[in-house]
Amino acid sequence: MTGQMWRAFALAVATVCLALPAMAQTGAQDKYPFQNPDLPVEQRIDNILSLMTIDEKIDILGTQTGVPRLGIPNIGSSEGIHGVVQRGGGKRNLTPITTTQFPQPPGMGETWDPEIVRKAAGVEGYEARYISQTPKYGRQILMLWGPQSDLARDPRWGRSEEVYGEDPFFNGTMATAFVKGLQGDDPKYWQSAALLKHFLANSNENGRGGSSSDFDERLFWEYYSVPFRMAFEDGGAKAVMASYNSWNGTPMTIHPILDSILTKQWGVEVLSSDGGAVTNLVKWHKTFPNQKDAVVASVKAGINQFLDVYKDEVHAALADGSLTTADIDYAVRRKMRIAIKLGLLDPPDRVPYSKIHDGVEPWNTDQSRDVSKQIALESVVLLKNDKGALPLQKSGLKSVAVIGPLADSVHWDWYGGLPPYAVTPLAGIKAALGPDVAVTYAADNTDGRAVAAAKAADVAIVVVGNDPTCGPNMAHDWNDAGTNPCADPGDGREGRDRETLALAQEDLVKAVYAANPKTVMVLVSSFPYTINWSQAHVPAILHMTHSSQDEGMALAQVIFGDYNPGGHLVTTWPASVDQLPPMMDYNIRHGRTFMYAKAKPLYPFGYGLSYTTFRYANLKTSAPQINKNGEVTVSVDVSNTGQMAGDTVVQLYVSYPNSKVERPMKELEGFRRVHLVAGETRTVTIPLKAAQLAYWNVDAKAFTVETAPVDLMIGESSADIKLSQRLSVQ
């Protein structure tokens, strides 16, 4: 053979060996009926169950889902809400693997661009396949734990950094896009499997192991469950993780709705406990006297993936009859459906994703980098721009001071991985300015360094924000009920809610501004801050979330006008913590989110500025009325009336002036991010289904669309409504 022929032959052999089950490599191919991809799925699984021992079935109820004796590969799992997480270490002392790292989910949300979120998730799913099927890595991570589909109902929540925003329709749209990206476009097979977290109403950290999120049936259907339902029904996700908390006193790990709604109505196949959640049923919820009873109840509730102690307990339960083989078979069957959907039991020539292995690592390709750069740019939000302070003109600058504790770092978070590169704000600014502009750096004002740097510069850029892990030792900061308190009470993380919304580093901003009024504030944060002083005084403020490998590049392009920011906020930023109801009040009607809050916020939901201006006109609907089972198209003409190309986010809100039940002041029901060159006008269309106007009818146990008029509103934020029109519902 020539060298070229040998390489082609070796590649073909590698493809077959990687994709086929172990039995295909030992002469066992076609030994069993389940290996026939043309048989019906349930018939194949019947055969698998008949061949498995009880020990093998029990083993599958963990995260190792393979059956080596039968050549059934392991699905495996990895965290993956904004990048595949393979930091290495752990009990197996794994080697770290770099993977593409995108902005934290609130930053992904701040793009208001489901398509770029889908592309980012597509990169993740591809990288998971590549790692799973490339021999030098040898790990199986085809179930990615994401998207995080909970809602940021309170900015004090320590895990706000993990979710897209506070609105159910918005979060559901982004979660659906993320699921579609992970699972791919093939009509039969998935690229990877999405596992949603954490069902349900998990938005407090302090005491979460035994707390109860209490709210009524309508809020379940109309708010808390919406992003999950959309990701299951519209996105096609089939796996979910139950949350630690209770809903109305019943722990989610054993809640009857896992089976009655998730499995039977929404088609969920894998129901996972969270880490230690079954133990919490004994320790914190005090629902059961021992681990065995807790495990039995979890299995009967539908849990078929344990991140907890369970094996001995299942064996004991089978021995005393509290669990049956049928219970275990039901649990295993649903996991096997996922394995088949991933193509793990089929010949590689039938599975398009079996070809993903070897060659250039995907995180080192232009394709992945381009997606990373684009989502980073789209995530930047311009919060203030007094008198056109931004963009800065490079040609007029001789010196720039870059200041702040976040200026020369890109912070990882608990659910982030290791990027192949990370551009800090300082590095991005230096690269953008080149060698002819002097760039000085001061991390803080020790010995007056920040003030001195600001005074000596033409302009000061101060980069402040939170530390997503509250320090470098988060892995060792866990205690019996969560994590230790953060040194800064304005910080939060998993296991610890924020004590204040004040930004401690705002004192540094004040000092820099006093030294140089030409100050740009860059807030890199996972959640809102009450930066009232900065909003009143600093000429320009930008916001971005953590963990993007292109953080500094994106900020520099925005600061110097190479990119016009078009991101918008995904939560309401209160002016004071006093505007918030008590942390454990889960009834959002008491004043949470833009739908119910009555006090004027610092920044409203959907807010974001641009370097250009936009005009909205000619709001229309495709019909004067909408049928209760129908759909209309809402259209509006949008014009770029400024001098620079830019993006606007057209937001469609709905209100119910004559509703017979209590409804929100307004609801988001559609949006489009639109790019327009200077002077361009475009008609933007947004579909609106009557089903989106429904409320949950408690008496009928069903969604009901009222035959009453609704008001349609087009705005640039929830508080900046440009046009409105009434629509009849028949």
The C-alpha atoms of residue 383 and residue 378 are separated, in whole angstroms, by 14
**Band of the pLDDT at 471, cuts 50, 70, 90?**
confident
247-251: long-range pairs with CB below 8 Å, 24+: 247/200, 247/201, 247/212, 247/213, 247/214, 247/215, 247/220, 248/212, 248/213, 248/214, 248/215, 249/212, 249/214, 251/277, 251/280, 251/281, 251/285, 251/287
**Band of the pLDDT at 270, cuts 50, 70, 90?**
very high
Q: Judge whether residue 249 has pLDDT over 50.
A: yes
**Contacting residues for 194 by C-beta, under 8 A, at least 6 apart:** 143, 144, 146, 147, 178, 179, 182, 183, 231, 235, 237, 238, 239
CA-CA distances (angstroms) from residue 683 to 21, 157, 639, 647, 713?
52, 39, 9, 14, 16
Instruction: Decide: 150 and 174 in contact? Cβ < 8 Å.
Output: no
Q: How far is CA 356 from the centre of its chain?
A: 25
DSSP H helix total and E strand total for the chain: 20, 26
**Band of the pLDDT at 13, cuts 50, 70, 90?**
very low
Instruction: Decide: 673 and 644 in contact? Cβ < 8 Å.
Output: no
The C-alpha atoms of residue 175 and residue 170 are separated, in whole angstroms, by 9
Tens of pLDDT, residues 401-422: 999 999 999 999 999 999 999 9
Report the mean per-residue pLDDT for the chain.
Answer: 95
**What does pTM read for this prediction?**
0.95
The C-alpha atoms of residue 506 and residue 532 are separated, in whole angstroms, by 10
Sheet of 459-465, strand order: 381-385, 540-544, 519-524, 459-465, 399-403, 438-442
- The verdict on whether omega for the bond into residue 255 sits within 30 degrees of 0, i.e. cis, is no
Q: Judge whether residue 25 has pLDDT over 80.
A: no
Indicate the range of 59-73, 80-94, 321-335 predicted with least confidence.
80-94
C-alpha Rg value of the chain to the nearest Å: 26
Instruction: Decide: 242 and 273 in contact? Cβ < 8 Å.
Output: yes
CA-CA distances (angstroms) from residue 281 to 205, 251, 367, 430, 437?
17, 7, 46, 53, 61
- Region 208-223 average pLDDT: 97
The per-residue pLDDT for 91 is: 80
Select from 175, 81, 79, 183 the least CA-distant residue to 126.
183
The per-residue pLDDT for 29 is: 58
Tens of pLDDT, residues 716-725: 999 999 999 9
The per-residue pLDDT for 23 is: 33
Report the percentage of the chain scoring pLDDT > 70: 96
Q: Judge whether residue 20 has pLDDT over 80.
A: no
Instruction: Decide: 159 and 594 in contact? Cβ < 8 Å.
Output: no
Q: Judge whether residue 6 has pLDDT over 70.
A: no
Question: Residue 343, exposed/middle/buried by CB under 10 A (0-12, 13-18, 19+)?
Answer: buried
Helix (H) or strand (E) holding 670, with range, is: strand 667-676
The C-alpha atoms of residue 547 and residue 543 are separated, in whole angstroms, by 13
The per-residue pLDDT for 474 is: 87
Instruction: Decide: 291 and 322 in contact? Cβ < 8 Å.
Output: no
Q: Judge whether residue 557 has pLDDT over 80.
A: yes
Q: Judge whether residue 12 has pLDDT over 50.
A: no
**Band of the pLDDT at 93, cuts 50, 70, 90?**
confident
Instruction: Decide: 561 and 611 in contact? Cβ < 8 Å.
Output: yes
Instruction: Decide: 135 and 14 in contact? Cβ < 8 Å.
Output: yes
- Region 462-469 average pLDDT: 97
- Per DSSP, what are the bridge partners of residue 37? none
The DSSP string of 456-468 is: HSSEEEEEEE--T
Positive or negative, the CA dihedral 386, 387, 390, 394 is negative
The C-alpha atoms of residue 686 and residue 727 are separated, in whole angstroms, by 15
Q: Judge whether residue 372 has pLDDT over 90.
A: yes
**Residue pointed to by tokens 């400024």:** 642
The per-residue pLDDT for 4 is: 31
The per-residue pLDDT for 90 is: 79
- Per DSSP, what are the bridge partners of residue 715? 651, 721
Tens of pLDDT, residues 610-642: 999 999 999 999 999 999 999 999 999 999 999
Most distant pair of Cα atoms in the chain: their distance: 81
- Region 358-374 average pLDDT: 97
- Residue 340's CB: how many other CB atoms inside 10 A? 20
The C-alpha atoms of residue 548 and residue 587 are separated, in whole angstroms, by 34
Q: Judge whether residue 480 has pLDDT over 80.
A: no
Q: How far is CA 351 from the centre of its chain?
A: 28
Q: Judge whether residue 15 has pLDDT over 80.
A: no
Strands 239-242 and 193-199: parallel
630 phi, psi to nearest 5 deg: -105, -160
The DSSP string of 231-246 is: HHHTT---EEEE-SSE
Tens of pLDDT, residues 630-679: 999 999 999 999 999 999 999 999 999 999 999 999 999 999 999 999 99
Instruction: Decide: 310 and 316 in contact? Cβ < 8 Å.
Output: no
- Region 476-489 average pLDDT: 87
